[in-house]
Structure 1
Amino acid sequence: MTASAARRTPRADCTVGPDGGITFDLDRRREDGEASELLLRLRGAKSTDGGTVRLPLSPLRDGRLRAVLPGARESAEGRWDVYLREPGTDDDAAVAVEPGIRDLRLLVDRTPGAGPVAVRIPYPTLDGRLAVRCWLRAPHAEAGAVTFDGTGITVEATLYGTDLGADAGVEARQPGADGRVLRVPVTGQDGTFAFTLPLDRLADGAVTAQQLWTLWLVPGTAEGERAAGVRISRILDDVWDRKKIFVYPGRSTGEGALATPCYSTDNDLCLRLEPEPAG
């Protein structure tokens, strides 16, 4: 049997630590004098862009190999695919790693400390490979409960890394350079805030095609000026892609359109506006 035929796909168990670091335990052994390493590659990045993180592998008592991504090490926002570079091979020959057991318990109900909000979640890709979804936000607005009444959609959220300031607001931004912006006030203090999007102000004329509006918190300043917008997202748990998991009902705007809160594949909170179905 050739070496390529004998080789099987490596698999790694992942554990997220209290500091946000990730431990990878591979079901591989290391021969004496040979070294291998785990490669994390940022999807879409070029090799010259610093899009590869190299993690040395060390043997455990049971013979398996372990690599650790420290929590203090910042990772660029995006999706990082995990590869194993076997001893005696170069980076181009690295093989994709399969996901094993993923212990993500410490990500649930997490409260970030001071500094940028950094989140890393190991997850299985659609084609069965191991990847790590990373977010790095400074500041960050974490979406919470989304509720409805007869006239509007209300969102509760928490702000990290900055203050609301005077005259803070939330902007629902229509896509496109000439898109509309619907601004509403926020209420709250000590980092928590809430806002309501009135249904009757969303549609401006007939809605003939689906629109995906983005939601931004715009803190105020002491001088009453507008600060840069903060994207409203939900990333402080163990869900790496909530687009198809958090599904909300739509509400009629009363103008022939249906408004539905939703999440993008990047866990950013959005508002979908589309023609209301007949009947």
Structure 2
Amino acid sequence: MKISFLIHTVYGIGGTIKTTLNLAEELADRHEVEIVSVFRHREIPLFRIDPRITVVPLVDTDPGSAANELKHPLHLQPAQYFPAAEARFKEYSKLCDTRVRAHYAASDADVVIGTRPGLVAYVAQFAPVGAVLIGQEHMTHNHHKQALRSELYEHLAALDAFVTVSEGDAAVYREKMPLPGTRVLSIPNSVPEPPVTPADGSGTTVVAAGRLAAEKQYHVLIDAFAGVVAEHPDWTLRIYGGGSERPKLRERIDAGGLHNSVHLMGPQSPIEPEWAKGAIAVSTSRHESFGMTLVEAMRCGLPVVSTDCDYGPREIIEDGVDGLLVPVGDSQAVTAALLTLIEDEPRRRRMSAAAVENSRRFDPGQVTKQYEDLFTELREQAASRAGDAQFQPEADCVVGAAGELTVSLVPTRSGTAGHEGLRLLCSRTEDRADERSYPFDAQGVATVPADERFAEGVWDFFAVVPQSGRRVRITARSVDQRGAMRVAAHDGRGVHNRVAYKVKGKGFLSLRSWNRPVHAEAGDITVDGTRVTVSGVLVGKATPVGEPVLVLRRRGSTQEEMTFPGSRQGTDGFRFTFSCATPVARQLTRNDYWDLYLRYAPEAPPVKIGRVLDDVIDKKAVYAYPAAVLPKKRPWGVLRKAARKFRGRPQQRVRVRPYYTVSNDLALTVADV
């Protein structure tokens, strides 16, 4: 087989690069292997690469290279096929899109593996038809933001398999992101046998290694080791790695008087000789998708004290046999575990031997066999999916006057509309486990009943292919939203509005649902000089009591609330007028945001004010309000010297503007001009 790995860069240093090279080298014994590196940012890779592996760089970003493409016209334009919510999105460009597409258009690879979220999306879109498509997760489901998970869903649904590095994370994916047509499983990272003789559990050195980053919680380790030094001053702690936390950690070491006992050793490669110098390894991370350093240490003969964080450590360490697991963030528990091993050398030696034995299951040969078995199992599925790849459903959608939705597939030459067994799937982007499914009839029409309740949020529309269960995103040809314009004639049971729409730029068919038992529907908004007036009507299962109150809540970590009295307009109407000077006086940042709520009765919880009872999906782009401009309030107590500094300068101003959020709720921005 020809196996192609798609990686961000193979020229740097990092866990994903190392595990990819380990797997690729083992596969090269029996297969043709290439590593497609999107970027080449230096001439020589930092890791040694087996000469049997073909390296294919696509975009040259090495500043010292004559072929440097940093100024290439296409590289100055943002990527179109790389997920916008991906952490590295800004590094990708149309040039990356073009090069990846071109490489795989001419490729004869039998298996293509994407090694990070954005590259998994590339694999789903550009890999050769008929190849086995595999995505790897080197982080975790919970590590990614909801926006990225939403963007990835359709791409994961196009894969043959999605591989996590821990069973715990695979279980989360299976629960929260159902992918019936994609096999979701775990295969651990591989760690080769070290080139040094394993430690035997003797010595007086504790070793930790990894990036000096906040998530590694080295401050917990340093505090814990203070307790070790108090009992055993001859023991030392070595921390290997570089990173932004180094100055803080140095200060903590000095503040604790631990400069003779705790040493920041800096980055070290290879790390195996350093592990072998130790007697115990330790990790205090608050999160580990796998835990490469744990396996490295165990393969070098060190029992490991590790926090029992999600997800890797508990699947690597057998508590009490080859290491000890402790609660996350508990420095006293770390101290106690270290002392347990320090004060019982026979046990430490037994655990050292067990660590070597038990870590052999992560040998590249054993891990590679799991991948090879997977490739073989998926080849038939990939061939079947190649037929599905020709299926690109397009539909017309009508929003009925009663709220029902009718989705009609557009007939094609292949008879798509009459595809036997085809089903319409509605999947909520915020929670992929929340689904609704409806059959297409012989004419390719599916109906979503008016009384079907959809949780508030965005729902994507898929066609589920029979037999394979593969989910294919439906493209909208036209969407008739007129029925949603009549939703204002509500029945007193609350707001249940569903508006189908065509996603801008992509053309996909989606649905926006609002589902609120009580809602304050905004009406006219006026800005008169420095005053804002908000009017509207209360909708749903609520009875107004007394005069209404407008509540402004500051968005962000600094919680604050302001209230303004209003007046009732008829039975359910409300009206408020407030001065913009009040939020300006409380401005904390260059851009403050306040969300607007209505308190319709003294004991009732405030409800959001928004505009959801019509057919307009994106109010922010349509309902634009003028801004009030006020002078910026300077904080009290400014020194006379500072006051003289500003004398003669133009007064700084602040702009206050009402606007609608992405969920069509009313908010207020207070921003420096």
> Which TM-score tier does this pair reach, normalised by the shorter chain?
0.7 to 0.9
Q: Contact 1:23/1:66 (CA < 8 Å) preserved in 2?
A: yes
2: CA distance, partners of 1:205 / 1:157: 26
SS in 2 for 1:257: strand
1: CA distance, partners of 2:442 / 2:562: 56
SS in 2 for 1:165: coil
Q: 5+ residue gaps in structure 1? A: none
The answer to whether 1:105 aligns with 2:482 is yes
SS in 2 for 1:118: strand
Aligned residue for 1:22?
405
CA 1:39/1:206 → structure 2, altered by over 3 Å: closer, same or farther?
closer
- Residue of structure 1 aligned with 2:500, choices 117, 122, 129: 122
Tell me the percent identity: 29
- Which amino acid in 2 is paired with 1:212? Y
Aligned residue for 2:659?
262
Aligned residue for 2:425?
39
Alignment of 1:1-279 (within 5 A): 4=387, 7-27=390-410, 28-30=416-418, 34-47=420-433, 51-60=434-443, 65-90=444-469, 93-109=470-486, 110-126=488-504, 127-161=506-540, 162-176=542-556, 178-188=558-568, 189-204=570-585, 208-220=589-601, 225-255=602-632, 256-275=653-672, 277=673
CA 1:205/1:76 → structure 2, altered by over 3 Å: closer, same or farther?
closer
How far apart are 1:5 and its partner, in Å?
7.9
2: CA distance, partners of 1:5 / 1:44: 27
Structure ID, larger Rg: 2
How far apart are 1:14 and its partner, in Å?
0.8
Normalization by structure 1: what TM-score?
0.87
CA RMSD after TM alignment: 2.0
Q: 5+ residue gaps in structure 2? A: 1-128, 130-382, 411-415, 633-652
Provide the aligned length of Structure 1 versus Structure 2. 261
Q: Contact 2:402/2:483 (CA < 8 Å) preserved in 1?
A: no
Bigger fraction of residues in helix: 2
Q: Contact 1:207/1:274 (CA < 8 Å) preserved in 2?
A: no
Q: Contact 2:498/2:513 (CA < 8 Å) preserved in 1?
A: yes
CA 1:6/1:46 → structure 2, altered by over 3 Å: closer, same or farther?
closer
2: CA distance, partners of 1:273 / 1:89: 52
1: CA distance, partners of 2:388 / 2:485: 41
CA 1:205/1:16 → structure 2, altered by over 3 Å: closer, same or farther?
closer
How far apart are 1:145 and its partner, in Å?
0.8
How far apart are 1:8 and its partner, in Å?
4.0
How far apart are 1:36 and its partner, in Å?
1.2
Stretch of structure 1 that moved more, 117-126 or 173-182: 173-182
* 1:130-160: CA deviation from partner (whole Å, max 9, x where unpaired): 1111110110111111112224110110111
1: CA distance, partners of 2:558 / 2:588: 16
* 1:41-97: CA deviation from partner (whole Å, max 9, x where unpaired): 1103143xxx1100111123xxxx11111111111111111000122221xx11000
Bigger fraction of residues in strand: 1
How far apart are 1:210 and its partner, in Å?
0.6
1: CA distance, partners of 2:451 / 2:567: 34
- Structure number with higher relative contact order (C-alpha < 8 Å, ≥ 6 residues apart): 1
Moved over 6 A (4+): none
2: CA distance, partners of 1:7 / 1:205: 58
SS in 2 for 1:213: strand
